[in-house]
Amino acid sequence: MKIKVKLTGLDCPNCARNLQTEINKIDGVKNAQIEFVKNSLTFESETPEVSLQKIIDLTKKLEPQAKISYKENKTNKNFVIDLVFLLLGIGIGVFIFFCPLNKGIYWTLYVISALLLGYKTYIKAICLLFKGIVNENLLITISVIGASIISEHMEGLMVIALYSIGKIFENLAVSKSRKSIEKLARMQPEYANLLTKKGETKVDPQSVAVGSTILVHAGEKVPIDGTIISGSSLVDNQSLTGESVPISKMSGEEILSGGIVLDGTLKIKTTADYKNSAISKIMDLVENASEHKSKTETFISKITRWYTLGVVVLAVLVWGIVWAVSHNLETAFYRGLIFLVVSCPCAFAISVPLSYFSGLGNASKNGILIKGSNYLDACSNLKIVAFDKTGTITTGKFEISKINATKGYSKSDILYFAALGEQNSLHPLAKAINENNKRKLVEVSNVREIAGKGVEYRLAGDKYFVGRKNKTMKATVVEAYKNDTFIGSIELNDSIKPTSILACNELKSLGVNCVLLSGDNSETANAVASKVNISEVHSNLLPNEKFDLLQNYKNKKGKVGYVGDGINDAPTLAVSDVGFSMGINGAPASIEASDVVIVDDNLQKIPTAIKISRFTRKIVWENIILSALIKIVFLTLGACGVTGMLAAVFADVGVTLLAILNSLRALYYRPNNKKMP
């Protein structure tokens, strides 16, 4: 059983990582994961209540200030207490350094000041040390004690004061990111106005069945995906798709959950349950995106586990070298302490996951649901994006343009025989056929779907086939056969999405090649490709041929993305490096198999995802390189005696804050996209 609880009060990512490691050692607990930025803890257990109590007891020992609950604590008590203690500690420190005091009072106040400024840091260092864990809390604790031993009292207090100030600012920056992401949670509707024979009743959205009728009044959120039966209104979809301009919705149109009705009242017939509606999918993906981490994030996470222990060993080595050269124990000890402070891994440990988290949040606000930072990372390296045609580049809403019938059969007969075979199909072609058939359907027997070709069935002793056998026909065609004899065909037309042309042009400007993979004949596929400016076209493809072709692209040309919406696209979406599916018209299987879901089916969101990905990756490497360079410089200067302890604190706390602020840029980045003329 999977359990999720709120975990508040942690003030550093390494603390979260160490706590996670220890929780996973508890008997009965599996796959425990702490999301520092999202204040959450998830774990699996067959005895959840017993395991949760063990986790709470362990957390109290290792992180006394942390709180575990099913609901997040919205108070700011910890922040206020930390700030009061910080100000008191600084005040006492200033007093003892500028006022003449006897030795006993001086040392008493000095210890009180040091405790007020860093009691949390010292407690964590000791608790974790007993568990065999060495992290930045121990480095700072050793530095304060060491500075006190060699009578560098002011520098000792400054180290812990600046470190504590840095942690407060770090928490504020992380809190800012959390609040931005938490805005998505406010998209969730609290109720639905269910229309029954007794009238209008407010109910939990999760209790509304598919096919129910609901009302959404002005100012209310659309709780469940559906089709508008009556009414019209402007709908604000900014939180859902990122579009700031309200869109007009009227009777007969589809509407997604999460939008806000601005005027009038809409009567909606639900086409999905709450779990499968757009808003629920968004929240689920945002909650679970961090389970799939990028290689960079995973590497940083692994290396920081051993980094601190390595720093302690190197600090001892620096101490030994300086002592051997200078023959001055105090100087050697002081420079070893500087090495400890500079080497704290905070800048790496928090800025990298925070950058990816901000990038994922930014994508979500733009209606792009990316299932993990590894997929966000992969978007930046795409060389080719291959598109399915029907329902992806085109609207997927077909209209019958012509019906052909052989001698002895009418056009109505061909439409009827086709509808009999397609009556249970969800394919767009089947939908158009069923909508146009006016004759009452009867039950058929021996129904057998032939993958990639069509449907076979029996009626009154005769065998019928509806689908496609002749690949040379020059249109989108559904053929009908009776006892293996051709009896007629239905020609259909599909329209191109307005955003398809812009999307393909923008992808090319980003250096990404576009390819069209279609099951239609070459003439139809080439006609569509020419309209959207795609030069490479592969037609007459069965689903397995699309799969093989994409695999070949991956082996020869690098990272490949695939964009599809149908059930038959699921295997190809799964094999691609990044699979993009459509959120409105996409089949559940394709959404499940994909790595990125485009909420509003707007293909322009694909270049947007790539731009956000590249910007986020750039920020990640800026943080890594900046932090590493500054630390190397200050480590060298500190070891040579050029800089002191205060400069070392800046190299740690200052760089961490700069990296965090830089990470937040990924949350507010706005790609420039071309608009429809």
449-492 pLDDT, tens digit per residue, is 776 678 888 888 889 998 877 766 656 788 899 898 988 888 88
Beta-bridge partners for 291: none
The single-letter DSSP state of residue 394 is B
Ordered strands of the 226-230 beta sheet: 199-203, 192-196, 213-216, 266-270, 226-230, 254-255
> Which segments of the chain belong to CATH 3.40.50.1000?
367-395+496-611
Q: Would you identify the CATH topology of the domain 367-395+496-611?
A: Rossmann fold (3.40.50)
Query: Given this model, what pLDDT does residue 677 score?
Result: 46
Helix/strand/coil percent split, the chain, to 5: 55, 20, 30
C-alpha span between 606 and 113 (Å, rounded):
55
pLDDT, tens digit (0-9, with 9 covering 90-100), for 68-124? 876 544 445 667 788 888 899 999 989 988 888 888 999 999 999 999 998 888 888
Tokens for 368, please give them.
Answer: 């792009």
Q: Which residues of the chain fall below pLDDT 50?
A: 72-75, 289-290, 676-677
Partnered with residue 562 across adjacent β-strands are: 386, 579
pLDDT of residue 267: 92
Residues with Cβ within 8 Å of 216's Cβ and at least 6 positions away in sequence, in order, are 193, 222, 223, 261, 265, 266, 268
Q: Which fold has domain 399-493?
A: Calcium-transporting ATPase, cytoplasmic domain N (3.40.1110)
The active-site residue out of 388, 569, 577, 601 is 388
CA-based nearest residue to 411, from 376, 438, 441: 438
Return the pLDDT at 479. Answer: 87
- The rounded distance, in Å, linking the Cα atoms of 208 and 446 is 35
pLDDT at 91: 92
Q: In Å, what is the CA distance from 614 to each residue of 186, 261, 544, 551?
A: 28, 35, 32, 24
DSSP code, position 381: T
Query: Tell me, what's the pLDDT at 116?
Result: 92
Residue 624's closest CA among 398, 355, 285, 233? 355
CB burial readout 353-377, b (16+ within 10 A) else e: bbbbbbbbbbbbbbbbbbbbbbbbb
CB 341 within 8 A of CB 653: no
The predicted structure's pLDDT at residue 77:
61
Upper half-sphere CA count for residue 326 (Cβ side, 13 Å): 17
How many Å apart are CA 493 and CA 303, to the nearest integer? 56
d(CA 649, CA 344): 9
- pLDDT attached to residue 92: 92
209-272: CATH topology: 2.70.150
Distance from C-alpha of 501 to C-alpha of 88, rounded to nearest angstrom: 63
Q: Which two tokens stand for residue 125?
A: 């260092």
CA distance 201 to 572: 44
pLDDT, residue 99, reads 87
CATH 3.40.1110.10 domain range(s) in the chain = 399-493
Does the active-site annotation cover 388?
A: yes
Global pTM reads 0.64
The fold for domain 2-75 equals Alpha-Beta Plaits (3.30.70)
**In b/e form, how buried is each residue of 595-623, taking b as 16+ CB within 10 angstroms?**
bbbbbbbbbbbbbbbbbbbbbbbebbebb
Closest alpha carbon to 619 in 296, 148, 182, 206: 296
Residue extent(s) of CATH 2.70.150.10 domains in the chain: 209-272
pLDDT reported for residue 444: 85
Structure tokens at 602: 């707007």
- Per DSSP, the chain holds a count of helices (H) and strands (E) of 23, 26
State the number of CA atoms in the 13 A half-sphere of 198 facing the CB. 4
Cα–Cα distance measured from residue 487 to residue 480, given in angstroms and rounded to the nearest whole number: 6
Q: Are 159 and 140 in contact (CB under 8 A)?
A: yes
Sign of CA dihedral 327, 330, 331, 332: positive
